[in-house]
Structure 1
Amino acid sequence: MKTVAGRFGGFVSSVVLTLSALPVAASDWANGMFADRTHDFGSVARAAKTEHVFEFVNATGKPVHVSSVRASCGCTTPVVLDETVAPGETGRIKAQFNTRSFLGQRGATITVVFDRPQYGEAQLRVDGYVRRDVVCDPGEIEFGAVKIGAKAEATVDIQYAGRSDWRILEARSNVPGLAVSFEEATRVNGRVGYRLIANFTPEAAGYINGEIELETNDGNHRRVPIVVTGSAVEAVSVSPSPLAFSPVAAGGSDAKKLVVKGDRPFRIVGANASDPRIAVELSDELRPLHLLPVTFTADEATGAIEFSIELQTDDAEIGTITVRGTADVTSP
């Protein structure tokens, strides 16, 4: 028996060492896909929407699949936003902080489990302090879809219980086009109420994912963040954009259909193209959807060109619609 143990003891030890090293190697490649693996929410109000999205880039050269996520504490709920991520693409894991059921200093480790292209685990960490003395109603500002140039308003009631001299000193936001103001509503026996007013006038299309930061005179927890979400949308959409003509031989022509869609009926009353070789056929009908034939007629000049078309409407809010495009004239 001693002879058997002597013959296989080194082999067994080698296997044990190799297996014990596997989780470390698996975690290394998985962790390496995340540029940031920790996030501190700071001090947040009770019932406030509090979440953070961790992003990872798939640099493995093969599709990556997230099989599961788990958190070490019920104070945080992890959500897989992208289960399968192609090579070179970005995946997202969202961490939602439960500010309704948990108070005080909280933290959680999130384990992200991958099963393709091989097994691996990534460890993420979130921490934060959920205040007992500040409540925001609602817990976030959600504007929904707001048209560019239009104005949307939202309010948040902020209640504080504690010091009688507690005050909001400043309100600032990282969302372009968002103006924030506040006013004191109540102050009785250590209970203080404020109303926050947020006016949003978007200038460019896109999604909104930012926050309003309240600066208070509380020496321990001066900052109170409020999440702001929504989207800014065009009153009119144009497709295709840009408008690209197929290559045209000198003296030839190409025609495309331009789709102009609004959220209400309107007329297109005029069209001016920056290049005289562009012709737009208009209809004077009042409708929310317009299909405009656009023709490019090439002359003898060859080469690539860029152009713009300005469509005048009878709607003051929609105004002038600018369409950009390209064309290429080749030798016959």
Structure 2
Amino acid sequence: MLNALNFGNPRRTVFGLVAIAVIVCTPSLVSAADWSDTVFPIKAHDFGTVAVAAKTEFQFPVKNVYSQPMHIQSVRTSCGCTTGIVGTEYIEPNQEGFVTARFNTGTFRGKRGATVTVVIDRPFYAEARLVVNGYIRSDMVFHPGEVSFGKVTQGESTTEKSTVMYAGRDDWQVVDLISNHTWMMPSYKQISRGSGRVDYELSVTIREDAPAGYFQDELILVTNDRSMPRVPLRVEGQVESLLNISPQSIAFGGVKLGQPISKRLVIRSQEPVIIDSIECEGWEVKFVKPTEPKKTLILDTVFTAVSAEGSQRKPVVIKTSGAKSVEAKALLTADIREN
């Protein structure tokens, strides 16, 4: 891994550039610019300064604002320094997908440029180009290139590590490691130093109160390098709730305001639990609270729309009782009528 470092000039290495132009073959669209601005709300991303072998990706959102499904046929790039990936091949009307731009930091150094062309063939043919830029510094290596937690059980604390290896100045130091979340706790310690080389161990702990769901974020490594002090390190994982709700999607269709609707919910847990509350904004939810903790609970629940109006997409939040309360969510959909 250290062979990848550039000992001759530790401050020189740069990122990639990816651009977006648009070719639209449909008379119904006012202009190419209008089309691309709507479908691609983000057209450029700056990765900043990154290290060799860092896993560096950005997901460009793609919004289907049309009445027919959108199909992303392909993604191509003009340079090997960047890889384009179709994240969502088919995007339903009024839904959102994404296209990923991955910068190949393991094999490229210095300032690079590339064009990622997104080809859409439904509901019409069009091409769009997206832009990324950044700076890959050759004097730093992350190993591994990201902190990956895989699957984590909510309510349990777990720690993963990476190492940053530097070659260059004798006085180079890590001075901070910053997280964007209170439940994601980073730390660092020096493990070796000598002959212009220094290694730091970077640790990240996911606390018990981490929210359920997939997370992808960055830690910011802060050094005493005045020219490029901040370097991102990607962190990702999946926090799995102790609770599993069935059905996950509660679809009521058309209902009247004040009309009670019965629904049987099955709650499964890794440990015996008691359900303390079931809440949904705009709805009154009634159920008989279990008196004994169980791993599988069958709840006959009554939902009544009390203040919700029109088309509804609301989370149903189920919480357990006890000192280590956990929660899980289902999705309620309905069309509320006054009478």
What interval of TM-score do these two structures reach, taking the shorter chain for normalisation? 0.7 to 0.9
Distance in 1, matches of 2:66 and 2:301, equals: 45
1:197 aligns with: 203
Q: 1:62 aligns with which of 64, 68, 81?
A: 68
Q: Could you say what secondary structure the match of 2:170 adopts? A: coil
Q: 1:64 Cα shift?
A: 2.1
Distance in 2, matches of 1:34 and 1:322, equals: 30
Q: Could you say what secondary structure the match of 2:36 adopts? A: helix
Question: What do the CA deviations read for 1:226-266 (whole angstroms, capped 9, x no partner)?
Answer: 00111223212344579899989x9x9976433111124x2
Does structure 1 conserve the Cα–Cα contact (< 8 Å) formed by 2:85 and 2:99? yes
Question: What do the CA deviations read for 1:178-224 (whole angstroms, capped 9, x no partner)?
Answer: 11111111110100111111111144223211100011111232221
Does structure 2 conserve the Cα–Cα contact (< 8 Å) formed by 1:271 and 1:280? no
Q: Does 1:220 align with 2:236?
A: no
2:29 aligns with: none
1:188 aligns with: 194
Q: 1:278 Cα shift?
A: 5.1
Q: Does 1:93 align with 2:99?
A: yes
Show the 5 A alignment for 1:1-332: 24-26=23-25, 27-28=32-33, 30-32=35-37, 33-201=39-207, 202-239=209-246, 256-264=263-271, 266=272, 268=274, 280=288, 282=290, 288-293=295-300, 304=306, 312=321, 317=324
Question: What do the CA deviations read for 1:85-105 (whole angstroms, capped 9, x no partner)?
Answer: 223221210011111111122
Q: Which stretches in structure 1 are left out of the alignment for 5+ residues?
A: 1-22, 326-332
Distance in 2, matches of 1:24 and 1:119, equals: 8
**TM-score normalized by structure 2?**
0.72
Distance in 2, matches of 1:182 and 1:97, equals: 26
Question: Which has the larger displacement, 116-125 or 146-155?
Answer: 146-155
Q: 1:111 Cα shift?
A: 0.5
Q: What amino acid sits opposite 2:101 in the alignment? A: A
Does structure 1 conserve the Cα–Cα contact (< 8 Å) formed by 2:244 and 2:328? no
| Aligned CA distance change for structure 1 residues 287 and 273 (closer, same or farther; 3 Å) | closer
Distance in 2, matches of 1:223 and 1:261, equals: 44
Q: Could you say what secondary structure the match of 1:104 adopts? A: coil
Q: 1:75 Cα shift?
A: 0.9
Question: What do the CA deviations read for 1:44-86 (whole angstroms, capped 9, x no partner)?
Answer: 1111100001112222433222111101110111001112222
| Aligned CA distance change for structure 1 residues 305 and 73 (closer, same or farther; 3 Å) | closer
| Aligned CA distance change for structure 1 residues 92 and 176 (closer, same or farther; 3 Å) | farther
Q: 1:149 Cα shift?
A: 2.9
* Structure with greater helix share of residues: 1
Does structure 2 conserve the Cα–Cα contact (< 8 Å) formed by 1:107 and 1:125? no
Distance in 2, matches of 1:200 and 1:64, equals: 37
Does structure 2 conserve the Cα–Cα contact (< 8 Å) formed by 1:204 and 1:232? yes
Identity score, percent: 36
Does structure 2 conserve the Cα–Cα contact (< 8 Å) formed by 1:30 and 1:120? no
Does structure 1 conserve the Cα–Cα contact (< 8 Å) formed by 2:148 and 2:236? yes
Does structure 1 conserve the Cα–Cα contact (< 8 Å) formed by 2:319 and 2:326? no
Distance in 2, matches of 1:320 and 1:93, equals: 31
Does structure 1 conserve the Cα–Cα contact (< 8 Å) formed by 2:317 and 2:327? no
Does structure 1 conserve the Cα–Cα contact (< 8 Å) formed by 2:276 and 2:320? yes
| Aligned CA distance change for structure 1 residues 293 and 185 (closer, same or farther; 3 Å) | same
1:19 aligns with: none
Q: 1:288 Cα shift?
A: 3.0
Q: Could you say what secondary structure the match of 2:226 adopts? A: coil
Does structure 1 conserve the Cα–Cα contact (< 8 Å) formed by 2:222 and 2:230? yes
| Aligned CA distance change for structure 1 residues 139 and 244 (closer, same or farther; 3 Å) | closer
Larger Cα-atom Rg: 1
Q: Which stretches in structure 2 are left out of the alignment for 5+ residues?
A: 1-21, 26-31, 280-284, 309-315, 333-339
**TM-score normalized by structure 1?**
0.73
